[in-house]
Amino acid sequence: MKKKAILQSLLLATGSFVGGMTLGLLLTPTNGRQNRMWISEHAAELAEWAEDRRRNAEHKGQLKLRHIRRNVHEGLSHHIPDLYEATEDLDIKR
């Protein structure tokens, strides 16, 4: 039930946003060509901003993953002995 309410709220917000943008563009004192140019310029800025955020998130994720890998490796090597070193002094003959 909660998911349905969240989805309805999201759809209402999206519909309201699109409707508001459409109404705003229809009521602006500028002509259609100027509006399209304005939208194109700002869409490019938005795409650049989103790409910058994506790269930043990817970089942070890679750093975090390296940190986790290092901690796991150090934890395993600290608590689990190297079997080659542990058995090199054993005299095993068959």
**Residue 28 counted as domain residue:** no
- The pLDDT assigned to 2 comes to 82
**Residue 72 counted as domain residue:** yes
- The pLDDT assigned to 68 comes to 94
Q: What global pTM score does this model have?
A: 0.46
- The pLDDT assigned to 90 comes to 72
Q: Is 66 helix (H, G, I), strand (E, B) or coil?
A: helix
Range of the domain at 84: 44-88
Report the alpha-carbon distance of residue 19 to residue 26 in Å, rounded. 11
pLDDT-derived band at 1, boundaries 50, 70, 90: low
**Residue 35 counted as domain residue:** no
HSE-CB at 9 with a 13 A cutoff on CA atoms is 6
Query: Could you tell me which residues come within 8 angstroms of residue 38 by beta carbon, excluding any fewer than 6 positions away?
Result: 30
Query: Could you tell me which residues come within 8 angstroms of residue 28 by beta carbon, excluding any fewer than 6 positions away?
Result: 35
**Residue 15 counted as domain residue:** no
Number of domains in the chain: 1
Percent helix, strand and coil across the chain, each to the nearest 5: 85, 0, 15
